[in-house]
Amino acid sequence: MKRRGTNLLEREGARSVLASVISIVIGMLVGSLLILAMGLFNSGLSLASAWDGIRLVFGGLFSTGRSASGTLTWGFNPTSIGNMLFRATPLIMTGLSVAVAFKTGLFNIGAPGQYLMGTAASLMIALGIPTETVPAGLVWLLAFLGGALAGALWGAIPGMLKAFLNINEVLACIMTNWIAANLVTWAFDGSQYRNLVENTKSAYIYKTSYNGVATSKLGLDLIFPNSQVNGGIIIAIVLAVLVYILMTKTTLGYELKACGSNRHAARYAGINDKRNIVLSMAIAGALSGIAASLYYLSGNTEFFWSTYQSLPATGFNGIPVALLAVNHPIGVIFTGCFMSMLDIVGLQLTNLTAYNEYITDVIISVIVYLSAFSLVIKMLLTKRSKRNRTAAGTTESAPEKAADAVHTEKGGESA
């Protein structure tokens, strides 16, 4: 009988993961080549400094600084890892937001606006309810839910425009992004929440710790001392698992994906496509609002109220996080941590070498660019798999045919 080994590249999931890994590796190699070129052609730098920079690109999360002799030291760095987990929390949530919309056939480029509305609702509730009369834990929960609700309502707007008026969700999301930016600016401009105590920070909103509201550390500060980490990362991971269960194990998830695959076929099958489109964008918006809640309810971050100058990058960064994870909710956890790791690497480059953090921006840009072409990479991997399978079949065909012929002949004689 013919035995045939299982080719890893024949699996759709394996090709998707490999395409993402290739994108990441190429991006990091491009960053390394850029550092090497700067070390070679800049008289103020050297190959030794370039080598330090390249090592930090690949392992900066585990750099513990420099020794007395000036060489880089390595080991477990709880501060960097804790800060990475803290920064990964909103990225995981916005990545989930984009991934859920992708799974249902929609492109949620409105995550920045939903993030801003979640920010405004969370901060106003957290700072507006006096903790002298209401327990701080209850205020935190109300602020968290308020941020989720604000994001859901803001996400539902482009969903309704898509469902009932067939307006492209990308255009609707872009408009709602800038409406949210100016609306939040107007809401905070001149409000009592502006930090007027520290004159140099008059354009900032108070930290929620000002009102005694902050996300519990849940013991993570003991594992990662001197870092910003808190229980938000655990909440984000739990929500990612719940989204995975929703999308793969429930009737609602099946209906949402069916509408994304073919809206008209889903309607013919009795699925309410309009409701599901609105619901999909509302869920995506809620996840973006939660991203803002977890970030600003940490108690150690400040919000710059003058948002009309630019949209929050966290919302847009959710797109490459989702693309690299192939829109898989569990994969988003790891890609969110990876993108956050690059932020930490950038800080290490700035603090420990003559290079700056903008090199990691180049790496992220290359990865984002390649992740957008992940389908092309998957096609190349598919062709390679077919060539390998064809070559293997050609090589083994002669002996296998002979064995099959003998087996058939014996079978015929016995019959």
Phi, psi dihedrals of residue 204, rounded to the nearest 5°: -115, 155
Per-residue model confidence (pLDDT) at position 399: 52
For residue 26, what are its two tokens? 């190429």
Tokens of 6: 């299982």
**In whole angstroms, what is the distance from residue 77 CA to residue 243 CA?**
31
Where in the chain are the domains? 80-332
Q: Which residue has the tokens 């990479």?
A: 377
**For residue 359, which of 325, 367, 314 has the smallest C-alpha distance?**
367
Which residues partner with 73 through β-bridges? 65
| For helices 251-261 and 78-103, angle between their N-to-C axes, nearest 10 degrees | 70
Per-residue pLDDT at 5: 44
SS3 25: helix
**Tell me, what DSSP letter sits at residue 228?**
-
**What pLDDT was estimated at residue 385?**
67
How confident is the model at residue 197, as a pLDDT?
65
Tokens of 189: 């401009």
Residue 22 is predicted with a pLDDT of: 83
| Gyration radius (Cα) of the chain, Å | 26
Comparing CA positions, the residue from 95, 37, 32, 77 lying closest to residue 58 is 32
* Predicted pLDDT of residue 15: 72
Q: Enter the tokens of residue 191.
A: 């409000």
Which pLDDT tens digits describe the chain residue by residue (415 residues)? 444 445 665 676 677 778 788 888 888 888 889 889 888 888 788 888 899 999 998 888 999 999 888 899 999 999 999 999 999 999 999 999 999 999 888 999 999 999 999 999 999 999 999 999 999 999 999 999 999 999 999 999 999 999 999 999 999 999 999 999 999 988 888 777 777 666 666 678 888 988 899 999 999 999 999 999 999 999 999 999 999 999 999 999 999 999 888 888 888 888 899 999 999 999 999 999 999 999 999 988 888 866 556 788 888 889 889 988 888 999 999 999 999 998 898 888 888 888 887 888 888 778 777 766 666 676 776 777 677 767 766 555 555 545 555 454 444 444 4
CB-based contact 292:118 (threshold 8 Å): yes
Strand partners of residue 63: 74
What is the CATH code of the structural domain delimited by 80-332? Answer: 1.10.3470
CB 169 within 8 A of CB 161: yes
DSSP letter for each residue of 262-281:
-HHHHHHTT--HHHHHHHHH
Kindly provide the b/e burial profile for residues 236-252, where b requires at least 16 CB atoms within 10 angstroms of the residue's own CB.
Answer: bbebbeebbeebeeeee
